[in-house]
Structure 1
Amino acid sequence: MTQPSTRPSTRTSTRAEQRSARHRPDPQRWPDVATVPTSAVRALVARALLRSVARRLNLRVELPGGALLNRTPPPDGAPVLRLAAPDAFFHRVGSGGLIGFGESYQAEEWDSPDLIALLTALARSPQTLVPPRLQWLRRWFTARQPLEQLGTPENARRNIQSHYDLSNDLFALFLDPTMTYSSAVFPSDSHGEPLASWELLERAQHRKIDRLLDLAGVRRGSRVLEIGTGWGELALRAAARGASVVTLTLSEEQQQLAERRIADAGFADRVEVRLCDYRSVTGRYDAVVSVEMVEAVGRAYWPAYFSTLDRVLAPGGRVALQAITMPHDRMLASEQTFTWIQKYIFPGGLLPSVEAVEQTLAAHTGLRLTGRQGYSRHYAETLRLWRERFTARAAEVEALGFDGVFRRMWTLYLGYSEAGFRSGYLDVQQLLITRLGEDHPR
């Protein structure tokens, strides 16, 4: 079992004595969580910035003992940021920006009685967290993505394995029985709001998969390529329609479990699970399907990714993608930034915008985006169910060997993602891509 790590640090913590040995992060596993950077000037800037953000976003910032950082008390019901170790928090944020904010949560230096409300408030307008007159300070807080995370064929396998090869048992603790790790599509009420519950999640995942397979025109006799196997549920449902499937993964743990599930379902003769980079795939396919995989490619390799779709798509074929997207201006603003998510959760990733997908297709392929539908509220609810399940089974996560820092890291990751969809900052879309000038009957 592998846990995320960062470059070794030679700094010493200024707050380690405030935490018991039982709660102190392991400096070998978590060097940048176990140590607190020191910069008095940056800490003062971070303190002033938080006070400004709290005023503009109506946040309540509580210090130890119940005192407020706010100069003016916020309105009743304001989201709460509760600082347990203010000095450490301000030093981390002053030195590392949002990476420091995340590491401070991992180190138990802050919390919130309603984490989602707090993160949603922050996510609604991320571009305004630093006031315009202080934007020049971004160079203090913004790190560049390490070269070893760029999505080269060599790095891509390591990036994927660092997340998906953590443990199949870990994912099984909070995913539904389909082992589907992407947004579900729930039935909706009369106002269009998703009717989400744990009991409906399995059927909602099948609804999502079936919509993608319908979008791609998958039927008996179809030759299907899936880029990003997951644990095999989409390949299973395509095979059940009578299709033959080649599905690609870079995760050995996913490959092993997917092959076992496919064999148990009696479809081993219809599905081949390849440990293969998308750039190396061969053959021609009537349908290409990929679920929330383009986010891991990295912008420099989007041309290679979409050119691969063009190369392998048979005449008259269809591509159906499910992709997490962000507004184009925010994508441009963040594309060079090294984020907490990239450091600890998904190395090398970047969420595309719809405009970026269209531009890449036009510049590098004969394909065009010809249809799309968004499901952001459905993803927020999917993530809520996963997060509640994950936190409820914390003892079982610990029994698998994942320590408290990891559990807080994943709680923040799931909550941060949920807040992105609740705020409208993120969307998840099913995209139909077809070849220019071809007819594509349903």
Structure 2
Amino acid sequence: MTVEIPTNPVVLQRWPDLAVPRGLRAGVSARAVDLLVRRLTRRLPLAVSYPDGTVTGSPTAVRLVLHRPDDFAARVGTAGLIGFGESYMAGDWDSPDLVGVLTVLAAHITDLVPRPLAGLRRLHVAGHPAAERNSEDNTRDNIARHYDLSNEFFGLFLDATMTYSAALFTGPADDLAAAQHAKIDRLLDRAGVRSGTRLLEIGTGWGELAVRAAARGADVHTVTLSAEQRVAARERVAAAGLTDRVRVELLDYRQVSGSYDAVVSVEMIEAVGYEYLDSYFGTIARVLAPGGRAAIQAITMPHDRMLATRHTYTWIQKYIFPGGFLPSVRAIGESVTRSTDLRVREEFSMGPHYARTLRLWRERFEEARPEIAALGFDETFARMWRLYLAYSEAGFRSGYLDVGQFVLGR
């Protein structure tokens, strides 16, 4: 199904950056993109079909279907991978196996652009907007743009625990809620959380970890910058009868004070930013009591790719996670050592579990399309989120991305 966006004034008013690029630069770069796509189908297990019936590449390979090849090429040629994502949002292309196409591209990410052109990357791609740096002034707005979409929206595709991070499956029959509890319990165990533990959680989510920690008898202080999540987390805590053990606060992690026996943070580091990694770990070390342990869950990428892309403005940052940044395992270890007296004591990799988690979210998302539309989210938004979920799943399927639990101690 195509989406008639390029000439639709109502859609363009809401999504102005989806206007098709025009002009000399767009025309020249579009021709280069067309040649590049045809070259890729000769080297990768990828086929591309065109409106005239032409198919390049192996007929048995996963297929990218170009509905508007000229618009696709103009967008990609002008804005690179941001243009690639925008072209999907606009309906220029689709695929009967979207995750499959994106998995092929993720697995060959370093080979997509010829090396002579790759060296010019920094001259072509956009840099991070200053307003999206994760300073204390900007971070709340960055968080709100994603997590404050509405609790009802997230509830349509997350499980009953409302946990928005990689689950840990112990067997093929595990349902998503049980796998989320297994992930949470492992983190709490590795941080040594038990009755009487003073626990700081950086990044509340919708409150499930705080509730499970308090049910163990811990005294929990959990901080978030999402107003929507704070409301929902407080409701969840109250429903569990644990308001005397859990304090949910709207607070930047850098402003936390006090002393805690344990610190837990689940997929919060991705919202910290490269230049603030030392501040994040420095805060953990500052508030962690002698003998205490911290357990964090973090999405990671290869170190060389992190270095190559850390200053690049991406489609994910523009449309999904403003200010987002994925560290490498090496960057985590170096920041911990550089900025604290802590050390990484344990690492536990669980990347395939995230691919499975994302597949389940994506399936739930598709089933909930009518309800999503009823909340006021249009077709362009739905395509944007479908691409985000599929793009993320492909990253973990291909092994380009990983997720791990890290235990820090003195």
TM-score grouping bracket, smaller chain normalisation? over 0.9
Match of 2:33 in 1: 46
Residues 224 and 285 in structure 1, CA contact (< 8 A), matched pair in contact too: yes
Contact 2:200 2:263 in 1 (8 A): yes
Q: Is the 8 A contact 1:25 1:33 kept in 2?
A: no
Aligned to 2:364: 389
Supply the distance in 2 between the matched residues of 1:277 and 1:135 (Cα, whole angstroms).
38
Displacement over 4 Å in runs of 4+: 20-25
Bigger drift between 128-137 and 84-93 goes to: 128-137
For residue 338 of structure 1, give the secondary structure of its aligned residue in structure 2: coil
Cα distance, 1:22 vs structure 2:
10
Q: Pick from 341, 345, 354 the counterpart of residue 329 of structure 2.
A: 354
What is the Cα deviation at residue 58 of structure 1?
Answer: 2.5
2:136 to 117, 142, 153: 153
Q: Secondary structure at the match of 1:246?
A: strand
Distance 1:393 1:34 in 2: 28
Cα 1:309/1:20, change in 2 over 3 Å: closer
Counterpart of 2:244, as a letter, is: D
CA distance in 2, matches of 1:141, 1:101: 15
Is residue 2:285 matched to residue 1:300? no
1:20/1:386 Cα in 2 relative to 1: closer, same or farther (>3 Å)?
closer
After superposition, what is the alpha-carbon deviation per residue over 1:301-360, rounded to whole angstroms, capped at 9, x for unaligned?
111111000000000000000000011011001101000000000001110011001111
**Match of 2:70, SS?**
helix
Q: Which runs of 5+ in 1 are unaligned?
A: 1-15, 189-194, 436-442
1:389-434 per-residue CA deviation (whole Å, 9 max, x = no partner) reads 1011111100000000000000000000000000000000000010
Displacement of 1:136: 3.6
Q: Does 1:36 align with 2:21?
A: yes
Change beyond 3 A, Cα 1:106–1:140: farther
Q: Label 1:178 to 1:226 Cα distance change in 2 as closer, same or farther (>3 A).
A: same
2:5–2:12: 8 Å Cα contact kept in structure 1? no
Equivalence for 2:287: 312
1:28 is aligned with what amino acid?
A: Q
**Pair 1:126-2:109 in alignment:** yes
2:81 corresponding residue in structure 1? 98
Report the equivalent of 1:407: 382
Task: Give the 3-state SS of the residue equivalent to 1:349 in structure 2.
Answer: coil
CA shift at 1:141, angstroms?
A: 4.0
* Aligned-residue offset at 1:27: 2.1
| TM-score between the two structures when normalised by the length of structure 2 | 0.96
| Correspondence 1:237 to 2:212 | yes
Three-state SS of the structure 2 residue aligned to 1:50 is helix
Q: Is residue 2:239 matched to residue 1:264?
A: yes
Alignment check: 8 A CA contact 1:246 1:274 kept: yes
The structural deviation recorded for 1:125 is 2.1
- The alignment partner of 2:12 has SS state of coil
Structure 1 residues 22 and 244, CA, compared in 2 at 3 Å: closer, same or farther?
Answer: farther
Partner SS state of residue 248, structure 2: strand
Offset from partner CA, 1:122-176 (integer Å, 9 cap, x none) = 0002111101132244246411111111100011100000000001000000000
Task: Quickly say closer, same or farther: Cα 1:25–1:351, change in 2 above 3 A.
Answer: farther
Which one of 139, 142, 149 corresponds to residue 125 of structure 2?
142
Whole-Å Cα distance in 1 between the matches of residues 251 and 168 of structure 2? 29
The residue type equivalent to 1:432 in the other structure is V
Mapped to 1, the partners of 2:218 and 2:115 lie a distance apart of 54
Give SS of 1:181's match.
coil
Q: Which residue of structure 2 aligns with residue 169 of structure 1?
A: 152
Q: Is the 8 A contact 2:20 2:75 kept in 1?
A: no
2:74 is paired with a residue whose SS is helix
The answer to whether the Cα contact below 8 Å between 2:198 and 2:220 also exists between their aligned partners in 1 is: yes
Contact 2:266–2:296 (CA under 8 A) maintained in structure 1: yes
* Matches of 2:353 and 2:296, distance apart in 1: 17
CA contact (8 A) 2:207 2:236 kept: yes
Query: Given the two structures, how large is their TM-score scaled by the length of structure 1?
Result: 0.89
Are the structure 2 counterparts of residues 81 and 141 from structure 1 closer, same or farther at C-alpha, using a change threshold of 3 Å?
farther
| SS of residue matched to 1:154 | coil
For residues 7 and 120 of structure 2, the distance between their equivalents in structure 1, rounded to whole angstroms, comes to 37
| Residue in structure 2 matching 1:83, options 42, 50, 66 | 66
Aligned residue for 1:288?
263
User: Cα 1:102–1:246, aligned 2, differ >3 Å: closer, same or farther?
Assistant: same
Q: Contact between 2:5 and 2:90, CA under 8 Å: does it hold in 1?
A: no
Distance 2:218 2:85 in 1: 44
Matched residues in 1 for 2:180 and 2:122: separation?
42
Count of residues paired in the alignment? 407
Percentage of identical aligned residues: 57
2:10 and 2:113 mapped to 1: Cα distance? 30
Paired residues of 1:285 and 1:312 also in contact (CA < 8 A): yes
CA distance in 2, matches of 1:77, 1:434: 51
Q: 136-145 or 162-171, which moves further after superposition?
A: 136-145
Summarize deviations over 1:40-95 as a string: whole Å, max 9, x none.
10101111111122222131110013212x3xx42x42011100000100000000
Q: Secondary structure at the match of 1:153?
A: coil
Q: Is structure 2 residue 44 aligned with structure 1 residue 61?
A: no
Structure 2 residue identity aligned to 1:368: R
The 2-side partners of 1:125 and 1:20 are apart by 30
> Does the C-alpha gap of structure 1 residues 20 and 275 become closer, same or farther in structure 2, counting only changes over 3 Å?
closer
* Pair 1:37–1:322, CA change in 2 (3 A): farther
**Residue in structure 1 matched with residue 11 of structure 2 by the alignment:** 26
Question: Cα offset for 1:226?
Answer: 0.1
Secondary structure at 1:410's aligned position in 2? helix
Q: Does 1:206 align with 2:181?
A: yes
Once the two structures are superposed, residues 180-209 of structure 1 have per-residue CA deviations (whole angstroms, 9 ceiling, x without a partner) of 000000113xxxxxx266xx1100000000
Helix, strand or coil: the match of 1:303? helix
